[in-house]
Chains A and B, each alone.
Chain A
Amino acid sequence: MTRFGVIRFPGSCDEVDALQACERYGDAEILWHRDRDLKGVDAVVVPGGFSYGDYLRPGAIARFSPVMEAVSEFAREGGRVLGICNGFQVLCEAGLLPGALLGNDHLRFRCRQVEIVVENIDTAFTRACAREDTLSIPGKHTTGRYFAPPALLDQLEGNGQVVFRYAPGQNPNGSLNDIAGVANEGGNVVGLMPHPEHAVSPLRSSADGGKLFESVALEPAAA
């Protein structure tokens, strides 16, 4: 059975939600920010929230935590890592994902159900999706405007590293090219601003987000 590890920083908010989402597709446990031991999990989720208060810049402190040293090494060896919202910000700050998240163009926190289109199904977290699948998933953040310099942006588009794109007219934050989520070159590290862990039950907003976690369970652990 797939084993997920969900990181808990002081200030994480969505780690229990992520844990519960993972538990629908495998075993899951919390990884404490001061530990360097990932306990042999098959995939790591860096959850949403406001790690260490995010007072400097979202994710800027968390990337220096002991657990992130271990996650970086795990990712470099092909380990599967999913960053959601603050987790996406942390992975960008840590250099595990390209680009950066800037303040929303309207400068407000916005919580809204959005549709995102799956642009690449060859990543560790999109294998359970069909090409051009549209997922209905809520987004909620103040700092979610995806940015990369023009040359990098072209490179990401060319490499298929843009994994999720807001559906036409749904971009909630002014992200360049409507980018909602990206992958590293290996496709084993994925980050996105919307929250798939909050879309895993029809009793809530939708169940579309489950596909990201299901993708991990579909595939045996990387070498």
Chain B
Amino acid sequence: MSNVASPAPHRELGLTDAEYDLICDKLEREPNRLELAVFSLMWSEHCGYKHSRKLLKLLPTDGPHVVMGPGENAGAVDVGDGLAVAFKVESHNHPSAVEPFQGAATGVGGILRDVFAIGARPIAVLDSLRFGELDSARSRYLLDHAVAGIGHYGNSIGVATVGGEIYFEGPYEQNCLVNAMCLGLAPKDRMIRSAAAGVGNVIVLFGALTGRDGIGGASVLASAELGEDEDKRPSVQIGDPFEEKKLLESSLELLDKGLLASLQDLGAAGLTSSSSEMASKGGVGIEIDVDKVPLREADMEPFEVMISESQERMLCVVEPQKLDGVLAVCDKWEVRATAIGTVTDTRRLRVLAGGEVVGDMPVEALVDECPVYDLDPVEPREPVYPAPAAKLDGDESAEDRLLALLGSPNIASKRWAFEQYDWLVGSRTTRRPEEADAAVLMLGPDGGSGAIAVSIDGNGRRVACDPYVGAVEAVLECARNLACVGAEPLGLTNCLNFGNPEKPHIAWQLTRSVEGLRDACLAVGAPVVGGNVSLYNEGGGGPIYPTPVVGMVGKLPDPGTVPWSGFREAGHAIALVGPFAPSLAGSELEKLRGGLSTELAPVDLARQAAALDVVRTAVRSGAVATAHDVSEGGLACALAECAIAGGIGARVELDDGFELFGEGPGGVLLAGRRGDIEGLAEALHPHGFQLIGETGGDRVAIAAGVATLSVPVAAALEAHGGSLPSRFE
């Protein structure tokens, strides 16, 4: 018999009738309003991973460097000298589509908290952004405000934004993507987990006041398709980087002084998810008295207090004798801290208000017994996406083709965006955006202890062409970016941005992408240490391109030998290395011509991975002055980018018929003194090695048999550098 009465509030909250019945079974009664709100959030896609949990189990999570894997607030890898690097990428897509400035800002704030919640000091942020085409006023508005929001939060809290990527494609018009990744550095012995422990210990809430902002915010917004006409602005959270800065400093000082038993940030679903997840991991219960929670608005209902998504709050477990010490540290940093509950042995989340129990739920039911669904993947017979509008008719000259590609927003310089970010605070940044293929951050002063490199990537259009190969390529692109600065991959985080997984063709995209990620991670030796899933990114305009975003972290021994992406001197020899088979399928040129392929060439993963090892070794040898991978726009664009970044031209000769604008994994440009580059030939030859030309002059001149192309560096710079700023003048 069903417990469902009509009209059913659980449906409004996104629960199915079957899920509601299951809740009644778990409670052995009907839930009250607070309990229903709590269950609806914990069983939302955002918190419960209902449609992705089974798939995510495919991903490799073990590796020799892994210190913390999935399940904690962030993953972490060992970087030597007693240090670990914690990192994670997370989406804030739906809030950013509603209010881009605050959506993006609180996306950064949330991922920062995830990292310092495990005891790591945030040292870098990267962002992966997707918008509709820049011809659209809405896309320009979203980009402008999202970039400003990221800058506002990251700059104000003093964490460098060192990299990222931005793509513009029609299917993101209604559902933009804002994925933020944070890296933190921690002495391994300061790291802390979130499992609540010690029956009788005190639960302390510290940070900002709790208000009505964000009620149903991330959790509900992230778990249903956005309607065209609903105004959800009131449920977007508001960020305060100054409050978070104090929260960060106080959290790390509390950990340095050994005052905490466990620590957890408050993100989506606020107190509800933080407390129940801490209790679940610790195998204990938690009792919270909502009357003790400091409120911004006096008349809040208990259920509102429990699900508020007010930003800049943390929850910690403290032994009673250490409570005074905790309160003193918080007072020093002018951070509000309040004991609001205790750890119990009941394995239940109990909520008190006015001296009465207003909610009482088994922790297992909330966290571990969320229903998990099998996907029903079916490969679509018809194209899922319309072909993009053609911008080139094919009659243009090779020069105009190159300039059109350099100025197309996906390839154009992103300087307009990254100059709005502080990329240097913290004294670690050795390579900022557009100086090298990956950001390079020193671990110790003056390069002692080596450096880490980080890259974030994911070309959704190529994944739309071929979800398996596209996902493989995203991992390879990151690994290639790391190889170009001499870094060996240590681990990876991913954010799976997809449409509605209950639709078979989206389920197919998701399944094939995860399979691709798995195979590529295994091939390059980069385990997945954490990540995030953002589903239901679709509306009236259809689904977004399937967009697995991959963030990879690696280590290199000597930041002093890191090459640049630009040419350094005239007279340097240029080599094209790696197993690179350029094709127009899925390329930027194909897009400008109005095409969208339905498959990409298969990738030989073993061959790709072996070549990356050799490139990395070559870069570390110090023989390479310039290293830049061939990606969007093919070899012609890669050469032009090296020339633009260095202000030096190049003369290059290729075989007749070489696809100058073709794309595909595996290609890397290396340049340096002739003797040095020729010295690499023997090691690189089995993996693909071809001396193709020399730097110098003020033009990029390419000959491939009878086809020739020659463009002044100044014209390339104008096309590449002027494209984004011209849209905002």
**Quick check: is B141 within 8 A (CB to CB) of the other chain?**
no
Interface stretch among B199-207, B418-426, B548-556? B418-426
Considering the complex, give the chain B residue whose CB is closest to the CB of A19.
Answer: B427
Question: Cα distance A68–B249 when bound, in Å?
Answer: 22
Q: Are A13 and B425 in contact (CB under 8 A)?
A: yes
Q: Are A14 and B425 in contact (CB under 8 A)?
A: yes
**Quick check: is B429 within 8 A (CB to CB) of the other chain?**
yes
A55: B residues at CB distance < 8 A: 242
Question: Cα distance A49–B249 when bound, in Å?
Answer: 14
Q: Are B422 and A140 in contact (CB under 8 A)?
A: yes
Question: Cα distance A19–B429 when bound, in Å?
Answer: 17
**Quick check: is A138 within 8 A (CB to CB) of the other chain?**
yes
User: Which residues, 14 to 63 on A, are CB-close (under 8 Å) to B?
Assistant: 14, 16-17, 20, 48-50, 52-55
Residue contacts A-B, CB under 8 angstroms, 19 given: A13-B425, A14-B158, A14-B425, A16-B427, A20-B445, A48-B425, A53-B240, A53-B242, A53-B243, A54-B242, A108-B420, A109-B151, A110-B419, A111-B418, A111-B420, A111-B421, A111-B423, A140-B155, A204-B429
CB distance from B256 to the nearest CB of A (A): 15
Q: Are B430 and A204 in contact (CB under 8 A)?
A: yes
**Quick check: is B31 within 8 A (CB to CB) of the other chain?**
no
**Quick check: is B560 within 8 A (CB to CB) of the other chain?**
yes
**Quick check: is A198 within 8 A (CB to CB) of the other chain?**
yes
Q: Are B334 and A10 in contact (CB under 8 A)?
A: yes
A223: B residues at CB distance < 8 A: none
Q: Are A11 and B560 in contact (CB under 8 A)?
A: no
A20: B residues at CB distance < 8 A: 427, 445
Instruction: Please tell me which one of the listed residues B242, B422, B427, B445 contacts residue A11 in the complex, with CB atoms under 8 A apart.
Output: B242
Q: Are B442 and A50 in contact (CB under 8 A)?
A: no
**Known A-B contacts A109-B420, A203-B446, A203-B559; A10 and B245 likewise in contact (beta carbons under 8 Å):** yes
Question: Cα distance A20–B426 when bound, in Å?
Answer: 10
Question: Cα distance A12–B242 when bound, in Å?
Answer: 9
CB distance from B423 to the nearest CB of A (A): 6
User: Which residues, 415 to 468 on B, are CB-close (under 8 Å) to A?
Assistant: 418-427, 429-430, 442, 445-447
Instruction: Please tell me which one of the listed residues B241, B245, B442 contacts residue A203 in the complex, with CB atoms under 8 A apart.
Output: B442
Instruction: Please tell me which one of the listed residues B155, B246, B446, B559 contacts residue A109 in the complex, with CB atoms under 8 A apart.
Output: B155
Instruction: Please tell me which one of the listed residues B157, B333, B445 contacts residue A13 in the complex, with CB atoms under 8 A apart.
Output: B157
The interface bits of chain A over 185-219 (1 if a CB of B lies within 8 angstroms of the residue's CB, else 0) are: 00000000001011001011100000000000000
**Quick check: is B690 within 8 A (CB to CB) of the other chain?**
no
Contact residues on B (Cβ < 8 Å of other chain), bracket: 20 to 34
B243: A residues at CB distance < 8 A: 53
The interface bits of chain B over 285-321 (1 if a CB of A lies within 8 angstroms of the residue's CB, else 0) are: 0000000000000000000000000000000000000
Question: Cα distance A13–B423 when bound, in Å?
Answer: 13
Q: Are A198 and B559 in contact (CB under 8 A)?
A: no
CB distance from A138 to the nearest CB of B (A): 6
B241: A residues at CB distance < 8 A: 50, 53
CB distance from B251 to the nearest CB of A (A): 14
Q: Are B151 and A204 in contact (CB under 8 A)?
A: no
> Which of B246, B421, B425 is packed against the most chain A CB atoms within 10 Å?
B425
**Quick check: is A131 within 8 A (CB to CB) of the other chain?**
no
Q: Are A52 and B242 in contact (CB under 8 A)?
A: yes
Q: Are A140 and B424 in contact (CB under 8 A)?
A: yes
**Quick check: is B156 within 8 A (CB to CB) of the other chain?**
yes
**Quick check: is A112 within 8 A (CB to CB) of the other chain?**
yes
Question: Cα distance A54–B240 when bound, in Å?
Answer: 11
> Which of B421, B422, B560 is packed against the most chain A CB atoms within 10 Å?
B422
A108: B residues at CB distance < 8 A: 148, 420
A12: B residues at CB distance < 8 A: 158
Question: Cα distance A1–B442 when bound, in Å?
Answer: 28
Q: Are B559 and A17 in contact (CB under 8 A)?
A: no
User: Which residues, 136 to 179 on B, are CB-close (under 8 Å) to A?
Assistant: 148, 151-152, 155-158
A50: B residues at CB distance < 8 A: 155-156, 158, 241-242, 245
Instruction: Please tell me which one of the listed residues A10, A49, A198 contacts residue B427 in the complex, with CB atoms under 8 A apart.
Output: A198
> Which of B151, B419, B424, B426 is packed against the most chain A CB atoms within 10 Å?
B424
Question: Cα distance A196–B435 when bound, in Å?
Answer: 21
B425: A residues at CB distance < 8 A: 13-14, 17, 48, 140, 198
CB distance from B622 to the nearest CB of A (A): 15
Q: Are B420 and A49 in contact (CB under 8 A)?
A: no
> Which of A12, A13, A14, A205 is packed against the most chain B CB atoms within 10 Å?
A13
B429: A residues at CB distance < 8 A: 204
Question: Cα distance A191–B151 when bound, in Å?
Answer: 24
Q: Are B559 and A10 in contact (CB under 8 A)?
A: no
CB distance from A194 to the nearest CB of B (A): 11
User: Which residues, 112 to 133 on A, are CB-close (under 8 Å) to B?
Assistant: 112
Considering the complex, give the chain B residue whose CB is closest to the CB of A201.
Answer: B446
**Known A-B contacts A110-B420, A203-B446, A203-B559; A10 and B426 likewise in contact (beta carbons under 8 Å):** no
Q: Are A203 and B158 in contact (CB under 8 A)?
A: no
Question: Cα distance A6–B680 when bound, in Å?
Answer: 48
